[in-house]
Amino acid sequence: MSALLKSLPFANGAMLLWGLAASLPIIIHLWSKRKYNEVTWAAMEYLLAALRKNVRRIRIEQLILLLIRVAILCLLAVALADPIWSLFPTLGSSMGTAGRTHFVLVLDGSYSMDYRASEKSRFEVAQQLAIQVVRDSRQGDGFTLVLMADPPVVVISEPAFDPKDVMEEIENLRMRHGGANLPTTLAEIEGILHKGNVAHSRLNDRKVCFFTDLGKTTWEDSATETCRKRVERLARESALVVFDVGQTDVENLAVTAMSVRESLVTIARNVTIEAEVQNLGRSSRTGRQVALYVDDQQIHAERIDVSAGGRATVAFPYRFETPGEHKIEARLADDALMVDNHRWLSVPVRESIRVLCIEGKQGAARHIALALEPSKSEHPRVRPDVRFEHALLELDLGQYDCVFLANVGRFSGDESAVLYDYLKYGGGLVVSLGDQVQADSYNEQLGGELSGKRILPVRLERPAPEAQYFFNPLEYRHAIVAPFARHERSGLISTPVWKYFKVTRHDSPAAKVALEFHNGDPAIVEEPILRGRSIVLTTAVSPESMDRSTNPPTPWTAIASWPSFPPLVQEILTLAVGGRTSDRNLLVGDTVEGSVAAAAGGLTLSVEGPDGDSDRVPLVTDGERSRWVYDRAMWSGIYTAHYSEPLDKRELFAVNVNTRESDLDRFDPELLPGEFNQDFSPSADEVSLPTTKPMQYFRWFLGAVFVLLLAESFAAWYFGNASS
């Protein structure tokens, strides 16, 4: 009986038992009809004769009064039971358990929710609807709140029962500038429901409400086996409701790429700034303005046409005259989705690129230094510093953008550790071999066979037999040799090599052969390692490396005297130093990190976000440097790291959106798992629910009782007067 009462649409179903009182008028009526002993009385005979003439009318009057009295008691019982119904069936189905519902409110926090079909963004509409669900709830209902982002953010982890607090949390939600991860969000919801069931067992009815635009990039995961299993488990213990706040046939332009062609920028040299705009809609867009800003000053603007699904590139030369931290912004004219109309670039500008050249013997690095900076200009682009190998432990490698090792014979454990740390902080390492190289030392110390800290992309085997070898550029596919594709007479493929080291690439998909010999052996192998890049040239770069087994001794190569050598070294340098600035340009959700010399005592650091808010970030000593990590870059823009005294400097970091979310294609609602209920899709103008609050009708029933009481009194009076 109790289960039946709970299933009825009444807040207090047990009060319906008072409806049994409606049987009292009927019992009294039937009791009054029982037979009595008849006694003949002359006066009554005349009265009975008169009554027989009106018996039909009197019976009808009695039945009317009986029905009114029964209705009064029935309606009073219904009013006491507090009847409730909802015009919104999916949520209304839960209202049979007044104050016993656990609502899990899940708001899509991906940046496609910033799309504005009208004055309100999709996210603002979602907030409005979620607040209405809370406002229309019953006393005793509990609420938890999740922002579906990547990763998801659990704002309220345990059921909260104060609607005002919950609505305030919803209003304070801030949409992220990233995507949304559906599988991990479903996993979080499972955990929330489990904890809620344990801590608040009386909340035996559960509703999971998703407020989302059904973006394809998020919801296409619902078709995966992992998501389907989680949805099935959730559906067994809760109702899943989707509030679709998206629109169809929407258009969007986005700045999808931003770059400076040079890896490291130096003063007084022209660089080319490029910005790419993509049309992610189905209609061509014409006359859209794109502006380029350097340090918040507009330097260029032009109008572009972009075909449907196409791309357009804006390029502009620029010359930095001052060293230091600079920022570049590409800004597209506003459209319905403004988050992806901006893209930033952090550009640390140097007076010159500093390169440390370590030579294993006299003259081994001389030709590298000359190729790096052949001119003697007042403001050289590259400043090579040639030292002997002992300098590895004497100098702070952090002051150099790249380290060249030329024919260094062997390495100690300390030298290996220094080079490993150098790569860890984004340095570029270029190793050229030669006649002094001891393969075992390289493999043990730089190959990680002893320490496990691998620095090189290859394992050294043995010197190749003396012969004449030539380079194979592998169709000029790699960035190092690509510039030679249109200059076959530059001498690259005719460079004579007589000896080199045979090597074996480590089992890493990131290790790539940029150049090989005509017999298929690698000549240049590169691999990004840690945050830096390691490049190995398997032959020598100096004529000082000799094969003394021949008579007369034969040089390993004549590469240093070939015209292709300087541009080859420049391209190697360009690739090697890329890691020095890669950590300055990130995507939303990436960690912002940096390091400084550990000797800077009393140093503090704060990171200022695009909104101007600052956070103190701790510095952690790591060997000879102090490193820091900031993991709250969830919004696009420029983040500024401020170092206190004694450094008193700043570093700029550009955090941009992942434009995968700029594709506003919707996931077909028909393809959602059947466990999802889809009862609501707002129009652009109407964003309120029909109602999520159960309508309480007890006042109406009490009013009906009052009216029937008046009617009963009037009917009894009227029928009595009529009878008399």
Q: What is the pLDDT of residue 711?
A: 82
Q: Are residues 40 and 114 in the same domain?
A: no
- pLDDT tens-digit map of 494-522: 999 999 999 999 999 999 999 999 999 99
Cα dist from 96 to 6, 13, 132, 195, whole Å: 6, 9, 19, 23
User: 258 in a domain, yes or no?
Assistant: no
- pLDDT tens-digit map of 145-155: 999 999 999 99
User: 401 in a domain, yes or no?
Assistant: yes
What average pLDDT does range 218-244 have in this prediction? 95
Q: Are residues 630 and 501 in the same domain?
A: no
What average pLDDT does range 534-558 have in this prediction? 93
Q: What is the pLDDT of residue 431?
A: 98
Q: Are residues 334 and 389 in the same domain?
A: no
> Confidence class of residue 16 from pLDDT cuts 50, 70 and 90?
low
Q: Are residues 587 and 575 in the same domain?
A: no
User: 345 in a domain, yes or no?
Assistant: no
Q: What is the pLDDT of residue 379?
A: 76
- pLDDT tens-digit map of 573-610: 999 998 888 889 999 999 999 988 875 567 899 999 99
In the predicted model, is pLDDT for residue 396 greater than 80? Answer: yes
In the predicted model, is pLDDT for residue 720 greater than 90? Answer: no
Residue tagged 């007042």 (tokens)? 378
> DSSP readout, 41-100?
-HHHHHHHHHHHHHHHHHHHHHHHHHHHHHHHHHHHHHHHT-BEE-SSHHHHGGGGSTT-
Closest CA to 395 of 648, 645, 624, 643: 624
Residues 6+ apart with CB under 8 A from 350: 264, 265, 266, 267, 323, 401
Domain with 589, as residue range(s), is: 583-656
Q: What is the pLDDT of residue 61?
A: 75
In the predicted model, is pLDDT for residue 491 greater than 80? Answer: yes
In the predicted model, is pLDDT for residue 441 greater than 90? Answer: yes
Q: Are residues 27 and 47 in the same domain?
A: yes
Q: Are residues 320 and 181 in the same domain?
A: no
The residue among 708 and 206 whose pLDDT is bigger is 206
DSSP, collapsed to helix, strand or coil, labels residue 652 as strand
Q: Which of 278, 308, 339 is the last residue of a domain?
A: 339
User: 335 in a domain, yes or no?
Assistant: yes
Q: What is the pLDDT of residue 37?
A: 59
User: 145 in a domain, yes or no?
Assistant: yes
Q: Are residues 565 and 425 in the same domain?
A: yes
Calculate the CA 691 to chain-centre distance: 32
Closest CA to 403 of 579, 621, 624: 579
> Confidence class of residue 34 from pLDDT cuts 50, 70 and 90?
low
Maximum average pLDDT range among 18-32, 66-80, 564-578: 564-578
Q: Are residues 274 and 236 in the same domain?
A: no
Q: What is the pLDDT of residue 21?
A: 67
The residue among 503 and 79 whose pLDDT is bigger is 503
User: 89 in a domain, yes or no?
Assistant: no
| Cα 485 from Cα 489, distance rounded (Å) | 10
In the predicted model, is pLDDT for residue 324 greater than 90? Answer: yes
Edge-to-edge order in the sheet of strand 625-630: 592-597, 625-630, 620-622
Lowest mean pLDDT among 454-458, 544-548, 635-639: 544-548
Q: Which of 550, 580, 610 is the last residue of a domain?
A: 580
- pLDDT tens-digit map of 130-147: 999 999 888 899 999 999
In the predicted model, is pLDDT for residue 87 greater than 50? Answer: no
Percentage of the chain with pLDDT > 90? 70
In the predicted model, is pLDDT for residue 171 greater than 80? Answer: yes
Lowest mean pLDDT among 370-374, 554-558, 706-710: 706-710
In the predicted model, is pLDDT for residue 2 greater than 70? Answer: no
Average pLDDT, whole number, for the chain?
88
Calculate the CA 106 to chain-centre distance: 15
Question: Residue 193 belongs to a domain with what CATH number?
Answer: 3.40.50.410
Enter the pTM of the model: 0.80
Closest CA to 91 of 8, 192, 202, 209: 209
Q: What is the pLDDT of residue 11?
A: 57
Q: What is the pLDDT of residue 48?
A: 67
Structural domains counted in the chain: 5
Question: 353-359 and 402-406: which strand pairing?
Answer: parallel
Question: Residue 310 belongs to a domain with what CATH number?
Answer: 2.60.40.10
Q: What is the pLDDT of residue 688?
A: 57
Q: What is the pLDDT of residue 101?
A: 93
What average pLDDT does range 651-663 have in this prediction? 96
What average pLDDT does range 295-312 have in this prediction? 95
Q: Are residues 330 and 287 in the same domain?
A: yes
Q: Are residues 106 and 211 in the same domain?
A: yes
| Cα 660 from Cα 589, distance rounded (Å) | 14
Q: What is the pLDDT of residue 12?
A: 60
In the predicted model, is pLDDT for residue 85 greater than 70? Answer: no
Q: Which residues pair with 243 in a beta bridge?
A: 211, 680
User: 88 in a domain, yes or no?
Assistant: no
> Confidence class of residue 689 from pLDDT cuts 50, 70 and 90?
low
In the predicted model, is pLDDT for residue 713 greater than 90? Answer: no
- Whether 343 contacts 656, CB under 8 Å: yes
Q: What is the pLDDT of residue 94?
A: 41
> Confidence class of residue 187 from pLDDT cuts 50, 70 and 90?
very high
User: 619 in a domain, yes or no?
Assistant: yes
In the predicted model, is pLDDT for residue 243 greater than 70? Answer: yes
The residue among 718 and 244 whose pLDDT is bigger is 244
Q: Are residues 283 and 429 in the same domain?
A: no
Closest CA to 632 of 645, 616, 620, 648: 616
Q: Which of 580, 610, 636 is the last residue of a domain?
A: 580
> DSSP readout, 119-154?
SS-HHHHHHHHHHHHHHTSPTT-EEEEEEE-SS-EE
Q: Are residues 411 and 526 in the same domain?
A: yes
CA-CA-CA-CA dihedral for 58, 61, 62, 64, to nearest 10 = 160
Q: What is the pLDDT of residue 705?
A: 78
In the predicted model, is pLDDT for residue 86 greater than 60? Answer: no
> Confidence class of residue 59 from pLDDT cuts 50, 70 and 90?
confident
